[in-house]
Structure 1
Amino acid sequence: MAFRRIFYLAAFLLVPALSAVTPLIAIPAITSTAGARGWEAYALGLSIGSAACVIVELGWPLTGPQRVAAEAPGDRWRTLVSSIRTRLLVLLILGPLAVLVAIALTRITGAAYTITAALMAAASASTGLSGNWYFTGVGKPLRILTSDAIPRALLVSAASLAVVGGAPLQVIPAGFLIAVLFSPVASLLLARHERREKARFTLRDDVRVMRLQFTAMSGRSVAALYAALPITLVGIFAPAAVATFAAAERLMRMSLTVLQAVPNALQNWLGSAPSRGEMRRRARMAIALNSSVGVVAGTGFALIAPWFAPILFTGTVAIDPLLATAAGIVLALVCVTRATGPLALIRYGRVHAVTASAIAAAIVGVPAICILAVLYGAVGATMGEILAEVTAASVQIAVLWRILRRPPKT
């Protein structure tokens, strides 16, 4: 039993670790061949596409894991098929829009490599079709490797080697796009054994599901304003700081990708609590564990990032200790809100509280990022992110405090 638990946790750690390693291959290829301008275009496209991705997801990564954890196999299959259908409909609208925004922004800011930014925006938006949340919920992390992480790593690595060998820069986002479009197809193939009957849906069914997912989607969409769009905001209000800020932001988000293993591993455990009392105990443990991991990881990031950045970005971009410290604080705060929001509040059915925290954070964070970026550059923009995350955490903790103070019924 102990070995199985260790293997289970190791599998959850391997998936985000591989996802985080993939950009480590692409970034040096970009900066060594296209310099800071190529990196700016790539980062802008990634930022715009990531914001669109949050809407494309329709909140499924937020509500889906614990939902399928409690469903029977046949119902799980219907949930997966329904989620892919509805997300694909949204992508058909938002994907082209993300491409147009990327093209417009690269021209407004004077950035080069417009096609690279456009392709990266399309690829990032398409990431919203991933079935990773489904395999997280059913406790089968190794299937994320075969459906998403490994194909993405192979294609991006091959594309990066091709760019180093003389291929145009847009080959990297093109490879990324092919990989993320493969993911939902592979997810359906890997989950097809849970099908009990043919899943039949109509457009009316899809619209109904999208309405049901609206609350979760709206919260994540608002959160994208201060979590996925900061690079875009800095590109508009402080374009001279884009390369440096994007470097720190990307390294920090890559670290968070690895740390996502912790809440992912806890989704099925928390979602399957047999009683209210046990659920409360597990929620408290999840928050304590994620917070501790965040403090340790944030401190490590502040110490390591200034040393590691010149190596990763091939001397093109540097991260000073002050910027690294600010980004480390953001990292720690995100670890906290990952536990208080997508884990604890969702388990207690408080999706509206997560949405409210995102709205409050966006109201504080978006203007703070814009204004502080103009005044203090990359460090100022990161300070704006800190204010946003503190706001989100405060709202979520306040709601949880009221919930967890009540004595459990059973």
Structure 2
Amino acid sequence: MARPASAADPIALRDDDTADRHPTIPFIQRILSFSATVGLVAVVGVLAIPVLIASVGAEVWAQLTVIQVLAGVFGVIVAFGWGATGPSMIAGATREQRPYIFRESLSARLTLYAVAAPTMIVISLLLTRGDVPLSVLGTIAYLLPYVASPWYFVGQAQPGRLFVLNTIPAVVGTLVGLLATWLTSSITAFLLIQALGYLVAILLERRHILATLPPGEHARYSLRAVLALLGTQRHAVTGSLVSSLYVSLPLVTVQALIPAQVPVYAMADRLFKFGSLALAPVQQFLQGWVPEDGPAHIARRCVRAVVIGLAFGFVGGSLIAGFSPLASALLSGGAVLVPLSLSIPLGIAFLFVSGSAIAGYACLILLGQVRHVAIASIMAAAVGAPLILISASLHSLELIAWSVALSEFVVTIYQLVILRLTLRRGEIPPAAPEPEVA
């Protein structure tokens, strides 16, 4: 069990004060607070595309995108489900428990980073056909964000601290890296500086959160404790890992079977990911808002949350479908063009991604249905993976995108059915579940 932190610690008191106030912050203001983080990341992400293409070329940029997608898979292993369950875990824990949850999670994630990085480097070398600097530095840089703990501040409803401690260092690292790449035409400079920014964010988070522990308290590393803690996350990481493997499959398959089309699909995938990035603050807000006023309001708020998710998905999907051709031309200087035949199915896929994300992470996990979120991810992979592989063997990017849309539709329908059955049976926890702490 977690041990109590000192109530006299001034930083802890400031956290408590803000945490007590957050339920009274207006609905829109809180979404906008989380949006500041995502908005800045999105702007920098958009800026990075033309700068990198102009500095190192479309092919190197596309290879870098493949490594980023691969990092999404191995990052799930490093994060090990805390991105999904962490916000609810922190929201449901006492203020005294929270820093212990963070400390033990960080210890586990650093262990997983050391295990995952070498394997990712080997696979990156195969996919990039032996590009050592890109594979090694790309792995080091793009796995570091999964060691960071933005979920801790989401669970605390602390968008300001998330922005200052996590977002700003990462964004500064990316911007300085882009400047270095522009001046040197070296992707190595970009990755080194970007990795430094991510590392600074991790160190700042650690210093701030662990400052609330009693003076002189030191953690002792125990592999046995790490393994026991990882066991409590098995359902969350299963769903996240299967989902991540499936999400990365289209671009990795294109890289393997249709390498000449990698820049086109990489651009379409990147624009699709910007939509997912825009969804993040809405999801983060709803994860805290649904349980905020207690069990009596959860059922009604789950329904409203899903409606919000689907509405957001419709708007975002329409933008992805309609504006990807123009956006790709502008961002690449005409070097990479995404056709409507590719952007339309990806826009439809985003509608279902938005609905399933809210139903799963804001509702089902809260209701103790983590297993069904994992099952939904497995169903998506079972439906989509064979279709994606067949489509890639036919050299059709459009069929790959339609395969993605179909599988996301299956996930959404399954999760909505489970959510409806759960609410109908009245299976609502009497209080937020207490986190398991090794």
Q: TM-score if structure 2 supplies the norm length?
A: 0.88
C-alpha distance in 1, partners of 2:207/2:45? 27
Q: Secondary structure at the match of 2:187?
A: coil
Identity of counterpart residues, as a percentage? 25
Structure 1 residues 124-174: Cα deviation after superposition (integer angstroms, max 9, x where no partner): 222211210110011001112112221121111111122112241222222
Q: How does 1:206-355 map to 2 (within 5 A)?
A: 206-275=226-295, 277-355=296-374
**Aligned-partner Cα distance in 2 for 1:3–1:61:** 24
Per the alignment, residue 134 of structure 2 pairs with 116
1:92 and 2:102 matched: no
Q: CA, structure 1 residues 407+133, in 2 after alignment: closer, same or farther (shift >3 Å)?
A: closer
Code of the residue aligned with 1:369 in structure 2: it is I
- 1:394 is the counterpart of 2:413: yes
Distance 2:218 2:387 in 1: 47
User: 1:33 is matched with which residue?
Assistant: 55
What amino acid is the match of 1:158? V
Q: 1: CA distance between counterparts of 2:245 and 2:405?
A: 14
Distance in 2, matches of 1:391 and 1:6, equals: 31
Q: CA deviation at 1:243?
A: 1.1
Shift of 1:403: 0.9
Distance 2:335 2:357 in 1: 32
Alpha-carbon offset, residue 196 of structure 1? 4.7
Secondary structure of residue in 1 paired with 2:336? coil
Report if aligned partners of 2:287, 2:363 keep a CA contact under 8 Å in 1: no
Question: Is the 2:58–2:335 contact (alpha carbons within 8 Å) kept by the matching residues of 1?
Answer: yes
Distance (Å, rounded) in 1 between the aligned partners of 2:59 and 2:412 = 35
Distance 1:199 1:59, change over 3 A: farther
Work out whether 1:82 is the aligned partner of 2:100: no
Q: In structure 2, what is the equivalent of residue 13 of structure 1?
A: 35
Deviations 1:81-117 (A, max 9, x none): 1111101101101012111111111118xxxx55224
Structure 1 residue 50 displacement after superposition:
1.2
Consecutive unaligned residues in structure 2, runs of 5 or more:
1-22, 431-438
Cα shift readout 1:34-70 (whole Å, capped 9, x = no counterpart) = 2221122111111111110011111001111011101
Q: Which residue of 2 aligns with 1:72?
A: 94
Match of 2:100, as an amino acid?
R
CA separation of 1:136/1:176 partners in 2, compared to 1, >3 Å: closer, same or farther? same
- Amino acid aligned to 1:145: F
**1:175 and 2:197 matched:** no
d(CA) in 2 for partners of 1:188, 1:266: 26
Q: What code does the residue aligned with 1:233 have?
A: T
Q: Within 5 Å, which residues of 2 pair with 1:38-187?
A: 38-107=60-129, 114-187=132-205
How far the C-alpha of 1:8 sits from its partner, in A, is: 2.2
Structure 1 residue 3, shift from structure 2 partner: 6.5
Residues 379 and 199 of structure 1, relative CA distance in 2, 3 Å threshold: farther
Secondary structure of the structure 1 residue equivalent to 2:335: coil
Question: CA 1:177/1:377 → structure 2, altered by over 3 Å: closer, same or farther?
Answer: farther
Q: Deviation of residue 194 (structure 1)?
A: 3.6
CA distance in 2 between partners of 1:184 and 1:95 (Å): 17
C-alpha contact (below 8 Å) 1:365/1:388 kept by paired residues: yes
For residues 89 and 217 of structure 1, do their structure 2 counterparts lie closer, same or farther at Cα, with a shift above 3 Å needed? same
Partner of 2:5: none
Aligned-partner Cα distance in 2 for 1:128–1:218: 16
TM superposition shift of 1:215 = 1.4
Change in Cα spacing, 1:208 to 1:3, as seen in structure 2 (3 Å) is closer
For the residue of structure 2 that corresponds to 1:318, the secondary structure is: coil
The superposition leaves residues 365-391 of structure 1 with CA deviations (integer Å, 9 ceiling, x where unpaired) of: 122112112325322221221122122
| Residue pair 1:156, 1:172 contacting (<8 A) in 2 also | yes
Q: How has the CA–CA distance of structure 1 residues 194 and 229 changed in structure 2, closer, same or farther, with 3 Å as cutoff?
A: farther
Corresponding residue pairs, total = 405
1:332-384 deviation per Cα after TM superposition (whole angstroms, max 9, x unaligned):
11111111111111011011101111111111112211211232532222122
Corresponding residue of 2:8:
none
Task: Rate the CA distance shift 1:152–1:404 in 2: closer, same or farther, 3 A.
Answer: same
1:228 Cα deviation from its structure 2 partner:
2.9
Relative to the length of structure 1, the TM-score reads 0.93
CA contact (8 A) 1:248 1:323 kept: yes
Contact 1:24 1:312 in 2 (8 A): yes
**Does 1:192 find its partner at 2:210?**
yes
Maintained 8 Å contact 1:373/1:379 = no
Shift in CA distance, 247/117, structure 1 to aligned 2, threshold 3 Å: farther
